[in-house]
Amino acid sequence: MPYAYGRARGPIPHRSTFRHVGGAGASLRSTREVYVSRLHAEHLFKVFGKRPEAAVERLKSGASREELRADGTTAAVIDASFEVEAGQIFVVMGLSGSGKSTLLRMLNGLLEPTAGRVLYDGQDLTALAPRELREVRSRHISMVFQHFALFPHRSVLENAAYGLEVQGVARKEREERAAEALELAGLGGWETSWPDELSGGMQQRVGLARALATDADLLLMDESFSALDPLIRRDMQDQLLDLQTRLKKTIVFITHDLNEAMRLGDRIAVMRDGRVVQNGTAEDILVRPANDYVASFIQDVDRSRVLTAGSIMDAPTAPGSADEVLAAAPATVEADTPVHELFTPFSHSDLPVAVTDERGVLTGVVTRDRLLAALGDEPKAQDAVKAPAVAPVVPAAAQAKEVPAGA
Ligand SMILES: Nc1ncnc2c1ncn2[C@@H]1O[C@H](COP(=O)(O)OP(=O)(O)OP(=O)(O)O)[C@@H](O)[C@H]1O
Ligand SMILES: [Mg+2]
């Protein structure tokens, strides 16, 4: 799949750190373990107010959030289903009140769903006894909030070590691990400082370090960077992407900022009024917004950083053989190259840029006209937008990789 924001990332082999549920499913599981999803939300509902189960039945038969609100009931999350692969950053985006935080709290069991299940490594969190759930939560899942509450009378090191303290890790080990995590979060050298000596951005890094120190595989980040100044926020995004290339955590990241979502997300789920209205890659959302709500979000996005050469290329039907096309092209790129990298080649040539696979075989061409048309396209809701052209000469396996998966 093409990713332009961030870096190219593929599915990462599944590495389970805690016991799978055994039984008949176990052998089946091992055969497909490599690509099994890490986290699976299955038809999750959360209703606040009177008779929540009855409200779920009404929602299932088509009642809207507004109808329920009339009786004083809030449908915070309505029928949310999605999967997050190991090593992915899965972004949940939506306006205030759309249900993002409620969804996140169900993912780590802080809130019990009114209906639906959360599976983590195949284990149903919603079915665990409170003690088991606490164990999973403290060892495998970490949360980073928007305003990270640090303990004012503890040093930065002690704050970063807090999650380990809760786990009962001995002092020496927890201080070593916390110091390592602070280093990773860019705070090496600040161990003995007090929280009030740190800027807001640095305090947020302590929050990140606390989450990293516990070795949790699943990080849940709720608007973790939203309170920061734009430049610091960008810096934190870069740092997270950088950390992710090394640590390969599974991350659910909540934001109401589409640019942040597009930079960070391997996949993005857009929420509106409690429902997931689209779930796709940044490019899917940009090229095929599911509805006008999503389209209105993407108006201000820099399309040249999200669209890739592979998504706008045409079949190499120009006169001449593949070798001639390659020889004449002002540049040769791969399908996942963001289109803003094509501006320079086009500034000194009218000829199409060649798109090749990793073996250097020509798979398509991008013409200057095609590039301009793609950048000028007003985002429209899904059915009004045609799928991007795909070169017929692309081998089937390469197509599967290069064409963005449908929403
Ligand atoms: N404990 C609660 N009791 C009653 N209603 C709640 C509760 N928690 C959340 N809600 C309601 O559920 C809806 C979704 O809230 P939620 O906090 O999940 O939204 P959000 O997308 O995280 O918003 P924001 O971007 O402002 O953080 C809102 O209408 C909110 O008022
Ligand atoms: Mg919230």
Nearest-CA neighbor of 39 among 141, 112, 128?
Answer: 141
Q: Which residue has the least CA distance to atom 31 on ligand 1? A: 97
All structural domains of the chain with their residue ranges: 84-113+124-280, 304-402
The 10s digit of each residue's pLDDT in 177-219 is: 999 999 988 899 999 999 999 988 889 889 989 988 988 899 9
What is the assigned CATH class of domain 304-402?
Answer: alpha beta
If one compares 207 and 401, the residue with the highest pLDDT of the two is 207
List, chain by chain if needed, residues with CB within 6 Å of any ligand 1 atom: 48, 74, 76, 94, 96-102, 256
Nearest-CA neighbor of 261 among 291, 227, 292, 298?
Answer: 298
Q: How far is the CA of 101 from the centre of ligand 1 (A)?
A: 7
For residues 127 and 354, give the distance between their C-alpha atoms in angstroms, rounded to a whole number. 53
Helices 171-184/200-213 angle, 10° precision: 130
Mean pLDDT within 336-344: 90
Pairing verdict, β 267-272 and 89-94: parallel
Residue 34 reports pLDDT greater than 70: no
Q: 251-282 b/e with 16+ CB inside 10 Å = b? A: bbbbbbbbbbbbbbbbbbbbbbbbbbbbbbbb
Mean pLDDT within 331-342: 90
For residues 131 and 60, give the distance between their C-alpha atoms in angstroms, rounded to a whole number. 32
Q: How far is the CA of 304 from the centre of ligand 1 (A)?
A: 34
Q: Which residue has the tokens 């430049």?
A: 231
Write down how long the chain is: 407
User: Which residue of 44, 101, 258 sits with most ligand 1 atoms within 8 Å of its CB, as the best mutation to test the pocket?
Assistant: 101
The 10s digit of each residue's pLDDT in 1-18 is: 333 343 333 333 333 333
Dihedral of alpha carbons 156, 161, 166, 168, sign: negative
Ligand closest to the CA atom of residue 103: 1
CATH 3.40.50.300 is the classification of domain 84-113+124-280: yes
Which residues are paired to 118 by β-bridges? Answer: 41
The 10s digit of each residue's pLDDT in 138-177 is: 889 998 887 778 999 999 999 999 989 988 899 999 999 9
pLDDT of residue 236: 86
To which H or E segment does residue 178 belong?
Answer: helix 171-184
Model confidence band, residue 79 (pLDDT cutoffs 50, 70, 90): very high
User: Which residue of 50, 100, 260, 275 sits with most ligand 1 atoms within 8 Å of its CB, as the best mutation to test the pocket?
Assistant: 100
Least-confidence region, from 145-159, 239-253, 375-389: 375-389
Ligand 1 atom closest to 95 (CA): 25
Ligand 1 atom closest to 105 (CA): 18
Model confidence band, residue 227 (pLDDT cutoffs 50, 70, 90): confident
